[in-house]
């Protein structure tokens, strides 16, 4: 089986043999953290297990370390999670959410990418699955834990160093937040409004069409190139508010054939955890 590594459509997912795919429901609401689990219990893709952004895909106990609102889970914790889920080498992983991949699905895709595991995001997410009339399962599937999993993050894809960001050595920052937050017009979540000096803006919502599907790869490539100019993809570092929706831009670039960009995981919430760091407002 040829593994999908960026996006998968509804029909392709429905055709996969259940024993060969790990499906993860990542629906999550920032304003109601329990809402995703509630929605999952009411109906999900058959065989899917549930992942919470706060509990499974982040380690909130590390927020005080200056790593942002959604610090990455430690490697041991993420490995143990995959073991509980029943992941095994060579298995296709598919993540979906109710936001076109923009919340936790792209985050899980990127975490798996960090460990070298092929994964894909369901294009159109939960809405596309139900609109296609595909079957829905309620309750939770029987657990199928695998043997112990022990994985390491590829540090070359990850940037945690605020100093490297400050001195410009990290590369061209690309901020995935909406334009009003980037400009500093408003800031509903973090200590200060604005953006890291020198960062460019590409709102993650621009990756999707009116139906919540990713735009065609050729269109995404043109749009990212218009923002980044001659900057090589390998010199692009994505950020957002807490390192979650930035993964959507990274996924979109990979889908568009713009390979090799990285993530500044602490993102804006990590940057402004130190009041001495500079803040820019307006357009760059």
Express as a percent the part of the chain with pLDDT over 70: 100
Could you report the per-residue pLDDT of 75-85, keeping only the tens digit for each? 999 999 999 99
Under DSSP, is residue 219 helix (H, G, I), strand (E, B) or coil? helix
Average pLDDT, integer, range 221-226 = 98
> Helix, strand, coil proportions of the chain in percent (round to 5)?
35, 15, 50
The DSSP string of 238-260 is: EE-SSSSTHHHHHHHHHHTT---
Q: What is the pTM of this model?
A: 0.96
Residue 87, phi then psi, degrees to nearest 5 = -65, 140
Cβ proximity of 197 and 278 under 8 Å:
yes
pLDDT of residue 1: 60
Which residues belong to the active site?
240
Weakest-pLDDT range from 51-65, 85-99, 158-172, 259-273? 158-172
pLDDT of residue 23: 97
């Amino acid at each position: 089986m040829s593994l999908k590594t960026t996006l998968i459509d509804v029909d392709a997912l429905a055709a996969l043999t259940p024993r060969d795919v790990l499906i993860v429901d990542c629906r999550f609401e920032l304003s109601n953290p329990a809402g995703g689990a509630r929605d999952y219990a009411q109906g999900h893709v058959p065989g899917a297990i549930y992942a919470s952004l706060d509990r499974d895909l982040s380690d909130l106990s590390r927020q005080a370390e200056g790593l942002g609102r959604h610090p990455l889970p430690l490697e041991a914790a993420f490995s143990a999670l995959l073991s509980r889920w029943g992941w095994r080498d060579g298995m296709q992983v598919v993540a979906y959410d109710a936001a076109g991949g923009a919340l936790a699905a792209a985050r899980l895709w990127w975490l798996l990418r960090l460990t070298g595991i092929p994964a894909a995001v369901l294009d159109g997410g939960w809405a596309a699955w139900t609109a296609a009339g595909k079957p829905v399962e309620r309750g939770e599937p029987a657990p199928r834990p695998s043997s112990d999993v022990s994985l390491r993050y590829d540090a070359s894809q990850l940037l945690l160093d605020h100093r490297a960001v400050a001195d410009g050595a990290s590369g061209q920052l690309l901020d995935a937040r909406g334009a009003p937050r980037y400009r500093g017009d408003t800031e509903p979540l973090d200590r200060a409004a604005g953006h890291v000096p020198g960062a460019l803006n590409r709102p993650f919502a621009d990756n999707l069409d009116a139906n919540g599907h990713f735009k065609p790869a050729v269109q995404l490539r043109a749009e990212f190139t218009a923002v980044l100019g001659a900057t090589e993809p390998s010199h692009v570092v994505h950020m957002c508010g807490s390192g979650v929706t930035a993964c959507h831009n990274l996924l979109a670039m990979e889908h568009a054939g713009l390979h090799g960009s990285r993530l500044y995981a602490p993102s804006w919430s990590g940057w402004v955890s130190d009041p001495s760091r500079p803040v820019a407002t307006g357009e760059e």
